[in-house]
Structure 1
């Protein structure tokens, strides 16, 4: 059955919650939005594990610019994110769009959904995220949510010039001339191809907690990763 049928069903059943929707409180909704911050930013086109919710209100489903990880159901859905559609989605995403990739069980309480929708009617419109922060509904940091700060100029000891893999180890050479060995299971090789990543042709090593023996190496593209990592003892 097509996604639009499920959406129509969800919207058709909205009558029971229409009063709650009309009484949604954006201040309370901002508190419910706290659960969304782990996966969604409010800065437009800044995508995390989920698409940006900047400009989401009245946007056609499955069309956030630059986001490519939509399920087939959302790619082919023919509706906009208005109050009715959001209510059905927030109640039970998997029932509304079977096969959705969104890991979210839904909000059973209709008043809580109405409050969250009232918040998104403000924050999810053009310039709305900044307005929500300026009005004190949310901290300004929630606009970028869990997005890392862009990697700009880095010191020589964090700029990777070569990586060789030997046995169960990575040997990472940095621009200060040092080569440091790491157990292979303590190294994460990551790609950040958007504006938060390093410049093209540059890899950056960042600490990843523990006792300093775990690090992430960030590349701007798969091409850079392939060119910098060698199997060599």
Structure 2
């Protein structure tokens, strides 16, 4: 092989580590607070998304304790390294169409490099608990202020409540199953969606606009599209409707 060919191969091989090494881990830790509401750095602690502990070298969609991977991600064959994670953080849907991560991507290359630099260190064994707690507390602090309170107020109500007796099939719940930390909700349009147990709320509406008996409705909640509320006609329906199934 020519010296030029060897040089090209060396450059390609060394590109992946360079992505993380050129970033600023301190800035990346600040940026991670946007991720901390859905991802933990602690081994075995899954949230809306899987734990990021020991992420480098892991096959995408393979963490045994996480039940909510999309079929698309499980079939992708991706091994997480700097190169793959940089592409994922740029455009998750472009990299793996039909994956379920509600995230549009980070277009700024410098911000991605910072985040990768932080994650490379924070996901190593023994590094997670303290840094996770710090990042998550900073994330909670960033929610303070008039703008955030206004957004929360909008999420909590203020608009007209829909009539739950006349809904599209996508909002009509047919079955709810529960396994470990995951609820799976199947609607009348034949689609099934998985929710982390803390992201699904169960409510009742006994008013004239509430759902028919034994015909609960599912309504979106939150700003990221990963939360929902299921509304029943009466409290007794909740326990009867949920079926343990793994």
User: Taking structure 1 as the reference length, what is the TM-score of the superposition?
Assistant: 0.51
Q: Is 1:124 the equivalent of 2:138?
A: no
Alignment of 1:1-233 (within 5 A): 21-130=20-129, 132=131, 138=135, 193-194=180-181, 225-226=239-240
Residue of structure 2 in register with 1:231 after alignment: none
What is the alpha-carbon distance in structure 2 between the residues aligned to residue 193 and residue 63 of structure 1?
A: 17
Maintained 8 Å contact 1:122/1:132: no
Unaligned 5+ residue runs, structure 1? 1-11, 143-188, 198-215, 217-223, 229-233
Distance 1:124 1:28 in 2: 16
Deviation at 1:21, TM superposition (A): 4.1
Asked if the contact 2:55/2:80 (under 8 Å) is kept, the reply is yes
Give deviations 1:9-49, integer Å, cap 9, x for gaps.
xxx9x97x986543111111011111101211122222211
Please give the alpha-carbon distance, in whole angstroms, between the structure 2 residues aligned to 1:66 and 1:110. 32
Deviations 1:156-189 (CA, angstroms, capped at 9, x unpaired): xxxxxxxxxxxxxxxxxxxxxxxxxxxxxxxxx9
Instruction: Tell me, yes or no, if the aligned pair for 1:58 and 1:81 is still in contact at 8 Å.
Output: yes
Q: In 2 relative to 1, CA 19–63 (structure 1 residues): closer, same or farther, beyond 3 Å?
A: closer
Counterparts of 2:61 and 2:98, CA distance in 1:
14
Cross-structure match for 1:186: none
Q: Does the CA-based 8 Å contact 1:21-1:111 persist in structure 2?
A: no
Distance 1:70 1:115 in 2: 26
Q: Which secondary structure does the structure 2 equivalent of 1:118 belong to?
A: helix
Confirm or deny: 8 A CA contact 1:25 1:118 kept in the other structure.
yes
Q: In the TM superposition, what whole-angstrom CA distance separates every residue of 1:106-156 from its partner, at most 9, and x where no partner exists?
A: 00000100110111101122222136369x7x36798xxxxxxxxxxxxxx
Using the alignment, how far apart are the partners of 1:193 and 1:45 within structure 2? 13
2: CA distance, partners of 1:42 / 1:22: 20
Aligned equivalents of 1:65 and 1:80: distance in 2?
15
Alpha carbons of structure 1 residues 74 and 133: separation in structure 2 relative to 1, 3 Å: closer
Contact 2:33 2:136 in 1 (8 A): no
Larger CA deviation: 46-55 vs 103-112: 46-55
Task: Please give the root-mean-square deviation of Cα atoms over the aligned residues, in Å.
Answer: 3.9
CA separation of 1:46 and 1:225: change in aligned 2, threshold 3 A: farther
Cα offset, 1:98, TM superposition:
0.5
TM norm structure 2: 0.48
Cα distance change, pair 24–32 in 1 and its aligned pair in 2 (3 A): same
- For the 8 Å contact 1:20–1:110, the answer to whether it is kept is no
Unaligned runs of 5+ in 2: 1-11, 140-175, 182-196, 198-228, 230-237
Q: Distance in 2 between matches of 1:112 and 1:141?
A: 18
> Which stretch of structure 1 is more off in the superposition, 40-49 or 100-109?
40-49
Q: Structure 2: how far apart are the matches of 1:19 and 1:127?
A: 23
